[in-house]
Amino acid sequence: MKPQKRTSPMATIPNLPYCAGSLVSDSFVATAAHCLANLRSPTQWEMSEVVLGMHYARSSPPEVQVRGIKRAVMKVQYRNENKDSDIALIELDRPVNISAVIYPICLPYDLKFPVADPWVVTAGWGRTSYRGRQSEVLMKSKWMEMIRHDHCAAATKYRERPGLLTERMLCGVSDLTDACLGDSGGPLMFYHPKYYRWFLVGVTSFGWGCNEPNDPGVYTSLYHPDILGWLSCANTGQMCQN
């Protein structure tokens, strides 16, 4: 992975050191449901916060905005056994100020999968290798190819567990790079040349190892109407304008 530019819809949750999220409106952050398994009581929410606009893990530039968590909502169909419907929303205690540095990522209402140009990137502060340390700087992967869950199931490690992958999942595969431990809940992003904007097409969910050539990582698919519909109904506030 390589350092991300200083403009991003990325959010970090310090109380969840192995997870990140994406700003999807001025009031909501999308993340993985498995990240919130231990954040289900109001007491825990009150003790937590979301940081936006951060680039380096140990610095806090003027553009950084910090918000408390008003509530956290997991999709009720989420299953921890295989991470099906692994998506959740965090409602901020007050809206963020949209700027050139902090802005909501677009949702793929008009995009269909598979697409003619299936290349995507992921981002986060996760490990740079399987046994490496957490990154001190926001990292972005090189281009990965999106593949359907059924094609992904043919990969060696997933073939050993039939039925693990569902239609609400998609995979990202590359011969160079991948998400890693610490990137959960972060975005899988597709750049649309027509709109000159990034679209959130997946939420980092799970995988075995990382940065292993041709070993797919698994993402919750926002191309699936069940996932996108739930996110759209639960998400309010100022969103991306295509």
Report the Cα 146 to chain-centroid distance in Å.
14
Rounded to whole angstroms, how far apart are CA atoms 86 and 31? 8
Q: What per-residue confidence (pLDDT) applies to 4?
A: 47
pLDDT digits (tens, 9 = 90+) for 103-160: 999 999 887 776 666 788 888 776 666 666 665 555 666 678 888 888 888 876 788 8
Say yes or no to pLDDT of 207 above 50.
yes
Average of per-residue pLDDT across 22-40:
88
Question: What pLDDT, on a 0 to 100 scale, did the predictor assign at position 87?
Answer: 97
Q: What is the predicted pLDDT for the residue at 45?
A: 63
CA distance 230 to 1: 31
User: Between the CA of residue 68 and those of 52, 89, 99, what are the distances in Å?
Assistant: 11, 13, 19
Mean pLDDT value of segment 59-83: 87
Mean pLDDT of the chain, nearest integer: 82
The whole model's pTM is what? Answer: 0.89
b/e map of 108-129 (b: 16 or more CB within 10 Å)?
beeeebeeeebebbbbbbbbbe
Give residue 1's pLDDT: 46
CA dist., res. 80 & res. 63, Å (int): 36
Give pLDDT, residue 40.
60
Tokens encoding 231: 């996110």
* pLDDT of 231: 94
Report percent pLDDT > 90 for the chain.
34
pLDDT, position 57: 61
Catalytic residues: 34, 86, 184
Domain boundaries, the chain: 7-104+227-234, 119-223
| Class of the CATH-defined domain 119-223 | mainly beta
Which residue did the predictor score with more confidence, 38 or 111? 111
Spatial separation of the C-alpha atoms in residues 216 and 212, rounded to whole Å: 8
Closest Cα to residue 202, out of 90, 122, 103, 102?
122
Statement: residue 162 has pLDDT above 90? no
Task: Choose the most confident range, by mean pLDDT, from 88-92, 187-191, 238-242.
Answer: 88-92
The residue with greater pLDDT, 82 or 54, is 82
Helix (H, G, I), strand (E, B) or coil at 129: coil
Fold of 7-104+227-234: Thrombin, subunit H (2.40.10)
When pLDDT is averaged across residues 188-196 and rounded to a whole number, the result is 88
The more confidently predicted of residues 109 and 242 is: 109
CB 186 within 8 Å of CB 239: no
DSSP β-ladder status, 169-173 and 187-192:
unpaired
Q: What is the DSSP string of 64-89?
A: -EEEEEEEEEE-TT-BTTTTBT--EE
pLDDT at residue number 15? 74
Beta strands in the chain (DSSP E): 2-3, 10-12, 20-23, 28-31, 49-52, 65-74, 88-92, 119-124, 139-140, 144-148, 169-173, 187-192, 197-206, 217-221
More confident residue, 51 or 125: 51
Asked if the domains 7-104+227-234 and 119-223 are classified in one and the same CATH topology, the answer is: yes
Predicted local confidence at residue 58, as pLDDT:
60
